[in-house]
């Protein structure tokens, strides 16, 4: 019987392998056939490629009771930050890509997103509601520096007086303070910054191309100083790996000026389970069984259950302990619970700006 060659981590990448997605008819496995023993993986650096996509619409809608918004916009598919635990990874399988290394290297951009968004906002009967940027993949991942799609989308929101929220791991969000601050002053903008750990070495292995935790805390400070309501998301809380940092992250967030916090227990739906287990085997083999055991205790014996109202926080003694620690910490450091006190942004000022050819108003 042939031996499978264990995957080897690639520098600067989160996933360890490029395992096939759930829709593929075939799966591939590296085996030791005796000819190239000791060279299990291609040492060639993995390059990032970006493919443009031109969809008809860019506003996605959802009816999930677990999240406080019903529509979102994602300028990119895939994310170069490479967070191994990212819940968006399985969505790459719909494109025929692997949720593994493909997710962080085979990216899709939407260059016309701003123009498409403007067309949707001008449709007769459009009802203004908050649109969330970054609900799936990060709108400020590295390729945004050149693509500028997120900034173009924000410029549309600004011209239409349309409220929006942002979720990101990147301090690149500070580039757009000239839009964010005036919109926040009108109660039309908020930002959530995700911080998983304050351990720089662990962050480099978990989320290799995301800015360091200290840069994210600095972004929280500057956003708060600019008057922008800023939430720190402790996401995900990883049992036996980052859970001991919960109070420290909340304290650091409060000192940086955050107004609220929220936490999410590690989620391992679909392909993420196998990818994360590979990561544990490679980077934290002695903690693998402990991490997975605590997850199973929090999801009824499985590593993940997609049950409404529980998939984000889990259930059982361990999950309840994390919840109690979180509530005590935000009370101690003076932060609001984002879930309990969701900020309502102002939709009343929404107004499509005039364009060439419009009939003049009589009033």
Confidence bin at 208 (pLDDT 50/70/90): very high
Give the pLDDT of residue 1.
Answer: 43
Q: Indicate if the alpha-carbon torsion angle 293, 315, 16, 23 is positive or negative.
A: positive
pLDDT at 219 > cutoff 50: yes
Q: List pLDDT tens digits, range 220-252.
A: 999 999 999 999 999 999 999 999 999 999 999
Q: List pLDDT tens digits, range 28-72.
A: 777 666 665 555 555 677 899 999 999 999 999 998 888 889 999
pLDDT at 280 > cutoff 60: yes
pLDDT at 363 > cutoff 80: no
pLDDT, average across residues 309-319: 94
Give the pLDDT of residue 149.
Answer: 98
Please report, for residues 88, 182, 271, 295, the alpha-carbon distance to residue 98 in angstroms, rounded to integers and kept in the order given.
12, 40, 9, 24
pLDDT at 121 > cutoff 90: yes
Give the pLDDT of residue 67.
Answer: 86
Instruction: Round the average pLDDT of the chain to a whole number and report it.
Output: 93
pLDDT, average across residues 212-224: 98
Give the pLDDT of residue 2.
Answer: 44
pLDDT, average across residues 134-143: 96
Q: Give the rounded percent of residues in the chain with a pLDDT score beyond 90.
A: 82
pTM above 0.85, yes or no: yes
pLDDT, average across residues 355-363: 67
C-alpha to C-alpha distance for 125 and 78, rounded to whole angstroms = 32
Q: Give the rounded percent of residues in the chain with a pLDDT score beyond 70.
A: 92
β-sheet with 49-52: strand ranges across = 49-52, 106-109, 76-77
CATH code matching the domain that covers 3-16+46-263, chosen among 2.60.40, 1.10.1740, 3.20.20, 1.10.10: 3.20.20
How many Cα atoms sit within 13 Å of 227 on the Cβ side? 11
Give the pLDDT of residue 160.
Answer: 98
Delimit the domains of the chain by residue range. 3-16+46-263
Write out the two tokens for 231: 């939430």
Give the pLDDT of residue 140.
Answer: 98
How many Cα atoms sit within 13 Å of 350 on the Cβ side? 19
Residue 51 dihedral angles phi and psi, to the nearest 5°: -110, 125
pLDDT at 6 > cutoff 90: no
Q: List pLDDT tens digits, range 141-190.
A: 999 999 999 999 999 999 999 999 999 999 999 999 999 999 999 999 99
pLDDT at 262 > cutoff 50: yes
pLDDT, average across residues 103-110: 98
Q: Are 7 and 282 in contact (CB under 8 A)?
A: yes
């Amino acid at each position: 019987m042939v031996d499978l060659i264990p995957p080897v981590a690639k520098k600067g990448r989160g996933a360890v392998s490029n395992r096939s997605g759930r829709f593929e008819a075939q799966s591939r496995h590296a085996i030791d056939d005796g000819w190239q023993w000791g060279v299990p993986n291609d040492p060639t650096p993995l390059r990032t490629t970006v493919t443009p996509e031109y969809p008809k619409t860019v506003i996605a809608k959802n009816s999930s009771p677990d999240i406080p918004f019903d529509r979102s916009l994602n300028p990119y598919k895939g994310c170069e930050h490479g967070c191994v635990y990212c819940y968006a990874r399985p969505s790459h399988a719909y494109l025929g890509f692997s949720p593994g290394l493909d997710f962080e290297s085979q990216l899709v951009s939407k260059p016309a997103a701003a123009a498409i968004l403007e067309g949707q906002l001008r449709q007769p009967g459009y009802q203004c509601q908050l649109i969330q940027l970054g609900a799936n993949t990060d709108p400020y991942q590295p390729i945004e520096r050149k693509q500028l799609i997120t900034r173009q989308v924000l410029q549309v929101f600004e011209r239409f007086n349309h409220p929006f929220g942002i979720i990101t791991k990147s301090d690149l969000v500070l580039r757009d303070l000239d839009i964010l601050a005036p919109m926040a002053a009108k109660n039309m903008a908020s930002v959530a910054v995700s911080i998983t750990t304050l351990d720089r070495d662990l962050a480099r292995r978990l989320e290799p191309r995301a800015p360091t935790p200290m840069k994210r805390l600095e972004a929280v400070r500057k956003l708060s100083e600019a008057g922008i309501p800023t939430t720190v998301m402790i996401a995900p809380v990883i049992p036996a790996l980052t859970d001991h940092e919960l109070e420290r992250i909340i304290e650091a967030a409060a000192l940086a000026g955050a107004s609220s916090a929220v936490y999410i227990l590690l989620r391992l739906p679909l392909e993420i389970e196998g990818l994360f287990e590979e990561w544990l085997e490679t980077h934290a083999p002695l903690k693998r069984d402990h991490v997975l055991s605590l997850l199973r205790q929090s999801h009824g014996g499985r590593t993940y259950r997609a049950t409404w109202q529980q998939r984000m926080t889990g259930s059982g003694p361990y999950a309840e302990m994390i919840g109690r620690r979180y509530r005590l910490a935000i009370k101690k450091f003076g932060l609001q619970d984002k879930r309990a006190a969701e900020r309502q942004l102002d939709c009343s000022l929404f107004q499509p700006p005039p364009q060439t050819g419009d009939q003049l108003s009589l009033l």
